[in-house]
Amino acid sequence: MMKIIVWFSVLMMVFFGYSCTSGKGDGIRYIFFLIGDGMGNGQVTGTQFYRAELDGRIGLDSLSFTGFPVVNMMSTYSAFNAITCSAAAGTALATGTRTSNGTIGKDAIHSKDVYSIAVKAKEKGLSVGITTSVSIDHATPAVFYAHQSSRSMYYEIAMDAVKAGFDLYAGGGFLQTRSMTDSTAPDVYCSFEDAGYTIARGYDDFNRKREKATKMVFVQETGASPFSLPYAIDRKPGDLTLSEITRGAIDYLFQKSNKGFFLMVEGGKIDWACHSNDGATMVNEVMDFSDAVEVVLEFYHQHPDETLVIVTADHETGGVGLGTRGYDLNLKLLSYQQNSLDVLSERLVSLREKRGGKVRWEEVKTVLSEELGFWNEIEITKEEEDVLKSEFECSYLQAGAALRGLYAVVEPLAKQAVQLLNNKAGMGWTTPEHTGTRVPVYAIGAGAWRFDGSPLNNTDIPRIIAESAGWD
């Protein structure tokens, strides 16, 4: 009997001790929520192996977040599907509500709106920033501020951003600045300006305007694509980067925050590269995302007792496999790829148009050599060349045979060539879509311990953030 009483007393102490700690929070003023869209274990591990191979060794090179003290796993399924989309996965991560695929900030049957941890942060007096490497109205950023039954309602989603009134939105731009159904509806950018926002186009313009701005929208320079920032592998001098957006967001939110800030950063094009099964572009996107996390860590090291950093993914894309050639990887071969599959496709199409459809195989070989290192840096067997040449004859010389992917139109010959490079590197793919595998969760800072323990559900993340901040 005495033992039972003692154990009961211990359990009560643990329970009430945890409850008090939970209510008090962990003294957090600065919350960073970083989402690598489509970034599963294969993407992270593959990038680590790739970096190590470039250094001439076998092993796992560290990314900025892989050494965090807390590492866990998280499920990603949606309300009605084992395999989620970004809208449903993002809604779960942002609001703690599991919803149906395609839904932004609503419950699974669209009967009510559900509100994000960013809204909670704003209600608690924190400044809030929502940033991404794709468009601001894309699914993952949208779930933090919008409530729409379909992720493709881009105009309505953008207008929800105006209503939410967060302090900063940053990314490529907006996909629909005018309503598709109402010609009298206001322009998105005009609506932001009417609501007191300052519009900055490009990093220099942002830095010129941020000190006097009450609220900001930060996008690429005029003339750049609103869909996204360029892939890291395609980047040209002067292109806006996710690291610049992250650094600018931190500087801006810190200067105007009295109680602290909440910042969401999405590396959105990891997912895009994986939808294309483009290994070289994927590892460059993961490294670019890691660079943005490194910017966050610079801030964390200045405020370690007041900062929580969470890095995770909304889902895995592509079903990345490491090991298609027996027991050897040769991922360093991916370094010979000079541009994304999208740019390679554009170059091949341009060559065909320039030649009026009369392109010689030797001309195409020159392009593949320059873009992928074939024949010069990477040995291509006769059998492998025959496969490429067959694609050249069957599809490339027949204009109009392009493959329409989720985010790009791809020339089949370019797709075949990139697939060959992936195979020679030892990287395989099971699908051009999402998968149902768990994804990693990394945490560091005040309250990070709460993410440790049993595997997580994506709906757990905003609840744990709220507990860490003492908002529950």
Q: What is the mean pLDDT of the chain?
A: 94
**What pTM does this model have?**
0.93
Q: Is residue 347 part of a domain?
A: yes
Mean pLDDT of 444-465: 98
pLDDT in tens, 276-300: 999 999 999 999 999 999 999 999 9
Q: Is residue 154 part of a domain?
A: yes
> How many domains is the chain partitioned into structurally?
2
pLDDT in tens, 74-111: 999 999 999 999 999 999 999 999 999 999 999 999 99
Mark whether 257 and 397 lie in a shared domain. Answer: no
Mark whether 166 and 265 lie in a shared domain. Answer: yes
Mark whether 316 and 222 lie in a shared domain. Answer: yes
Q: Classify 341 as helix, strand or coil.
A: helix
Q: Is residue 460 part of a domain?
A: yes
Mark whether 278 and 334 lie in a shared domain. Answer: no
Mark whether 359 and 275 lie in a shared domain. Answer: no
Mark whether 167 and 299 lie in a shared domain. Answer: yes
Mark whether 307 and 344 lie in a shared domain. Answer: no
Mark whether 194 and 90 lie in a shared domain. Answer: yes
Domain with 287 in it: what CATH number?
3.40.720.10
pLDDT-based confidence at residue 409 (cuts at 50, 70, 90): confident
Q: Is residue 152 part of a domain?
A: yes
Q: Is residue 3 part of a domain?
A: no
Mark whether 340 and 407 lie in a shared domain. Answer: yes
Mark whether 117 and 160 lie in a shared domain. Answer: yes
pLDDT in tens, 415-445: 999 999 999 999 999 999 999 999 999 999 9
The residue segments making up the domain with residue 414 are 322-428
pLDDT-based confidence at residue 404 (cuts at 50, 70, 90): low
Mark whether 422 and 447 lie in a shared domain. Answer: no
How much is the pLDDT for 25?
82
Q: Is residue 166 part of a domain?
A: yes
Residues recorded for the chain = 472
Mark whether 221 and 362 lie in a shared domain. Answer: no
Q: Is residue 463 part of a domain?
A: yes
